[in-house]
Amino acid sequence: MRAIANKHKLRMHLDAARGLNAAVALNIDPAIMVKDFDTVNFCLSKGMGCPIGSIIIGSSKDIEHARVLRKMLGGQMRQVGILAACGLISLEDW
């Protein structure tokens, strides 16, 4: 994405809850589908066979900012390793 004339970049986020499903249905590489966005969120429980969870993709700075916001809004869970394992299996096998 090109910078706007005044050198400020308009940042864009894509809530791609079912984005991986769409990429498969359209036979498109997900990386190409989301290339113009700064951050992307994929849901692992919508069509991926995972009981809970999502993934945010972006720069290290953006991900850290998202973690801070999640904690401020009460989205922190403890001891979720078993749920994380479900997410890994979904990504590897689906």
What is the span of the domain harbouring residue 75? 13-93
More confident residue, 70 or 6: 70
Indicate the pLDDT class of residue 63, thresholds 50, 70 and 90: very high
Q: What is the pLDDT of residue 79?
A: 67
1 within some domain? no
Domain count, the chain: 1
User: CA 53 to CA 43: how far, in whole Å?
Assistant: 6
Q: Name the pTM for this structure.
A: 0.71
In a domain, 3, yes or no: no
Average pLDDT over residues 17-42: 91
For the chain, the DSSP string reads -PPPTTS-----EEEETTHHHHHHHHT--HHHHTTT-SEEEEESSSSS--SS-EEEES-HHHHHHHHHHHHHTT---SS-HHHHHHHHHHHHH-
Residue 7 falls inside a structural domain:
no
